Copies of this chain bind each other. A is one copy, B any other.
Amino acid sequence: MILAKNPDRKDWDKLTKRPALKQQNLQQLVNEVFQAIREEGDRAVLSYTKIFDRAEVEKLKATPEELAGAGNKISDDLKAAIRLAGANIEKFHRAQTPTVVEVETVPGVKCWQEVRPIERVGIYIPGGTAPLFSTVLMLAIPAQIAGCKDIVLCTPPDKNGQINPAILFAAQFAGVTQVFKVGGIQAIASMTFGTESIPKVNKIFGPGNQYVTAAKQRATQLGVAIDMPAGPSELLVLADETASPEFVVSDLLSQAEHGTDSQVICVVKSASLIPKIQEQLLNQLPSLPRKDIARKAIENSKLILMEDDQDCMDFINDYAPEHFILCVENESFYLNGLMNAGSVFIGNYTPESAGDYASGTNHTLPTNGFAKSFSGVNIDAFCKKITFQKISEEGIRRIGPAIEFMAEAEQLKAHKLAVTKRLLSL
């Protein structure tokens, strides 16, 4: 880890800076695939699946038999774990359900706000060796609670045209309405336009590689919303002498194993922690199956000594970490001062992996400093709020003249007349 001791504020920029995202130009490829799928639908989808996933797929949609058989292909322990995690995610997200807001702003002017689900949502789950069934839970469970009518899941098939059974099991458990064997740009394009098999959706959620990210950006230009901007995963740990160096390092490594571009920052309040952290790293790293990835991420990560509490707080808010582990004695100081973070893990017994899987909070969170302006996925992400107003004769008498003056001043005469005509009729 790169070591910094009580760095000067003018050097914080360097420490909080994320690596520039590869802005590789995938535009042309994305446009090509989008156009083909718009024009040729399923035929193009199947052809790209053959090219990009090297898979022959007969039917894009997972069959009832495939879905029903999935549970038998995974262990009972894993099924029980998915059920426990799902129950917790459901409890926490159901509690977030927004309620109607109703105000009579002046007598006769009733304004209210109601919540409606986004009708059709799409969930993208990447393929590869590790099946991200946990992300299925994190996206489909809130969608189901919100009342989304169609919850469509796309994930690339393996070489045999199959979907990982844990993904299929999680999808059924979490209320996904249709599962499709399609990945990459072609999946995002299909959900953007709709094909013979795959429905068009209103909003697309989920992680993905640079191709998927570029395709999601393209989708936003075609009338489809997306969850949030993508970036490599991040963790910032703040530890003092009450923190277990063993646990802290296990969390740093959890983050580091995600990818060589994972962002890991460990801020310690006391110099005595530095050698302990370094020693634990040497102990724990070599035993990991993904040690080569983790080592690379750790090499670029930062171990920072910062002794002043206010400095720590300002630094954390400046960085705006996706995941923030807070393991210090005076935690209330930090909880009160925290402005920018995705999800916060407090104390020695709250590893990041608890939030990744099973505590109940969502693991789809803003990276790359977007925690300054974005929330993680929560129930709001699957809803819209519509405002309503109903004005009585008394109400328009009371606010009508103000509308007339303002419309006149904005030189919008027809806006004014719409009120004048009503006032004159009374």
Contacts and interface: CB of A to CB of B under 8 A. Distances in A.
Contacts of A95: 101-103
Interface string A328-345: 000000010011111111
A376 B370 contact: no
A3 interface: no
A418 interface: yes
Interface string A343-367: 1111111111111111111100010
A406 B225 contact: no
A88 B419 contact: no
A5 interface: no
Contacts of A346: 388-390
Contacts of A389: 343-346, 350, 354-355, 359-361
A119 interface: yes
Contact of A361 (B98, B203, B289, B387): B387
A43 interface: no
Interface string A79-93: 011101101100110
A360 B109 contact: yes
B422 A247 contact: yes
A211 interface: no
A129 B411 contact: yes
Interface residues of A, number: 129
Task: State the majority secondary structure of interface residues on A.
Answer: mixed
A195 interface: no
Contact of A247 (B119, B246, B362, B421): B421
A111 B134 contact: no
Nearest to A398: B84
Contacts of A373: 118, 202-203, 224-225, 384
A356 B253 CA distance: 53
B386 A344 contact: yes
A106 interface: yes
A27 B392 CA distance: 48
Contacts of A202: 372-373
A405 B133 CA distance: 12
Contacts of A69: none
A402 interface: yes
Given A350-B390, A406-B82, A406-B358, A223 B370 contact: yes
15 contacts: A81-B401, A111-B360, A118-B372, A119-B339, A132-B410, A202-B372, A220-B229, A224-B373, A345-B389, A349-B395, A349-B422, A353-B415, A355-B389, A362-B387, A372-B384
Given A92-B111, A113-B378, A359-B399, 10 more contacts: A78-B406, A81-B403, A84-B402, A96-B113, A111-B360, A116-B338, A224-B373, A346-B390, A375-B383, A378-B387
